[in-house]
Amino acid sequence: MPITTLRGLALLGLREGQEMSLINSNGVEEKILLEKVEYQPEAARREREALGREERTPAPRPILYVVSGGLDRRHGLGSNPTNGFYDPGPPAA
């Protein structure tokens, strides 16, 4: 069931045997019971790792680093003009 539906969204975070109540688009209360989880990819991966059947891969390194004010210091854009209006323009976006 896709999580883009109200029922699918209600199932997120539930464990087997847990129940959730929601009000549908017609204003009627529905109770949803999660009877069984057929397959959980993340749990299956952890189980394979525990059994030694799958090697752990290192977490990917981030490809983007945010440096606060990095360009301002390098290019001398850090000071405001004397009239008090500062618009860094498109490069700031």
Residues 19-28 have pLDDT tens digits of 999 898 899 9
Whole-angstrom CA distances from 40 to 5, 29, 45, 48 are 19, 28, 9, 12
With b for 16 or more beta-carbon neighbours within 10 A and e for fewer, the 26-55 pattern comes to eeeeeebeeeeeeeeeeeeeeeeeeeeeee
* 33: confidence class by pLDDT, cuts 50, 70, 90: very high
Identify which of 18, 41, 47, 45 has the alpha carbon closest to the alpha carbon of residue 31: 18
* 10: confidence class by pLDDT, cuts 50, 70, 90: confident
Choice between 64 and 27, residue whose per-residue pLDDT is larger: 27
* 11: confidence class by pLDDT, cuts 50, 70, 90: confident
pTM above 0.75, yes or no: no
Cβ neighbours of residue 72 under 8 Å, at least 6 residues apart? Answer: 78
Identify the DSSP state of 92.
G
Choice between 3 and 30, residue whose per-residue pLDDT is larger: 30
State yes or no: pLDDT of 12 exceeds 90.
no
State yes or no: pLDDT of 49 exceeds 80.
yes
